[in-house]
Amino acid sequence: MAAAYQTGISSSPTSLLQALVTWLAGQGWTVNQSAQDGAGWRAHLVKAGSLNVNLRAAENERIWRRGTSNYHDLGNGGYGIGLYLGTGWNGGSNWYAQPGGPVRPYDLNTSGCGMNLPQGSVAAYHLFDDGNDHITVVVERAPGIFCHMGWGPSLERASLPEPFPYFFSSSSTKLNTAELSDVLSGNRRGMDLTAYPPMSHTDEDYSTISGSTGQTHCTAFVRVDAASFAGRWIGDCKPEDEGFGWTGRRMRDALNKCTEALGGMEEDEYVNYQYLWNSGTSGPGERTLQSAFGGALLLPLHCFMEAEPQNRWAPIGYPPTVFWTEAVGHGYSAGDIYQLGGQNFMLFPFFAVKKAA
């Protein structure tokens, strides 16, 4: 299918999901189910017979089950769209129990991530398909505040034995439907602040959230080969305190400098953008050094898998259509189109997305 782009305004998480489903169907995706579920909406689509995507719009509700009666979602219910990939579809199973998704070893519940959204309309949404089934959704949830989610059939391969499907979003299952009142202090990426680049950062929780002790929660997952990890799905959070999204093996992005997710490794043992991304004094992302470059510097978001028992990081590739950039605010504005090597890229704060001509 040819590369495509669509933009518009939605009136609710459900209307946004319905617009996404209609657009994906036009891009050749088969819709297995698109129907009301609870107060919101669920959708299950498949492409090329094997890439199954599961989506759920939340309308003043929690959507990520923990056991039979509890939820991973923080708070008492909110708004957003949940996401995970799987290997099949079962019409008789709940949205969160489809075959082949990431699973938490603690309780055998499905792991995933999602976009936290407002109750009503958003300033704009942007839907991207590169023509090879790499899908990116960017939402301007309030003027100047962006969140995102996306997925694809494989990372750009780094001598991989087989395709490594991936998916990402701006919030973990814990914050997918949380309200600002639930996180007390606010200042949350993907909620009242623009999200960091795709694949790059976990949700980090500290004492501002009741009961938190420095947890990290997954916002990105990659399905590796069985020889690398028998559980297949790896995610970008640590195992301590049953980090929400933990699947049994750690994934990490080169832009992630969260010390909570380093594990037993020293900083110098980890390949990252430490000389380009200055964490400042108040946490990662306070300022960067990209502004010294005169154009829009687009850098791939390289991902690594923790290898055991060596406790080292093995490269597994990068998402081919999203890139880290600090162009917005340094001569460029959100929504600008930057041309590089005959390709178009739409710029957002902290990241850029490959766009159809």
Q: How far apart are CA 262 and CA 259, in angstroms?
A: 5
Left (φ > 0), alpha (ψ -120 to 50) or beta: where does 219 sit? alpha
Q: What is the mean pLDDT of residues 60-81?
A: 91
pLDDT digits 0-9 by tens, 268-298? 555 666 544 544 444 444 445 555 555 678 9
What pLDDT, in 10s, does the model give residues 212-232? 456 778 999 999 999 889 889
Domain-embedded: residue 321: no
Q: How confident is the model at residue 258 (pLDDT cuts 50, 70, 90)?
A: low
Under 8 Å CB-to-CB from 50, ≥6 apart: which residues?
A: 87
What is the domain extent for residue 48? Answer: 4-278
* pLDDT tops 80 at residue 302: yes
Q: What is the mean pLDDT of residues 175-191?
A: 86
Residue 341 lies in a domain: no
**Is 244 part of any domain?**
yes
> What mean pLDDT do residues 344-356 have?
96
Tell me which of 314 and 319 has the higher pLDDT.
319
pLDDT for 52 beyond 80: yes
Closest CA to 139 of 121, 161, 164: 121
Per DSSP bridges, beta strands 113-116 and 78-86 are antiparallel
Report the mean per-residue pLDDT for the chain: 86
Task: Write out pLDDT tens, residues 94-119.
Answer: 999 999 999 988 788 899 999 999 99
30 is a domain residue: yes
Distance, in Å, from the CA atom of 301 to the CA atom of 350, rounded to the nearest integer, reads 12
Residue 202 resides in a domain? yes
The more confidently predicted of residues 158 and 236 is: 236
Alpha-carbon separation of residue 282 from 54, 242, 256, 279 (angstroms): 36, 25, 15, 7
d(CA 346, CA 337): 5
In a domain, 132, yes or no: yes
Task: Say how many domains are in the chain.
Answer: 1
- The pLDDT assigned to 217 comes to 85
What mean pLDDT is predicted for residues 70-91? 94
In a domain, 339, yes or no: no
Tell me if 266 is assigned to some domain: yes
Q: Give which of 216, 136, 175, 190 is closest to 58, Cα–Cα.
A: 175
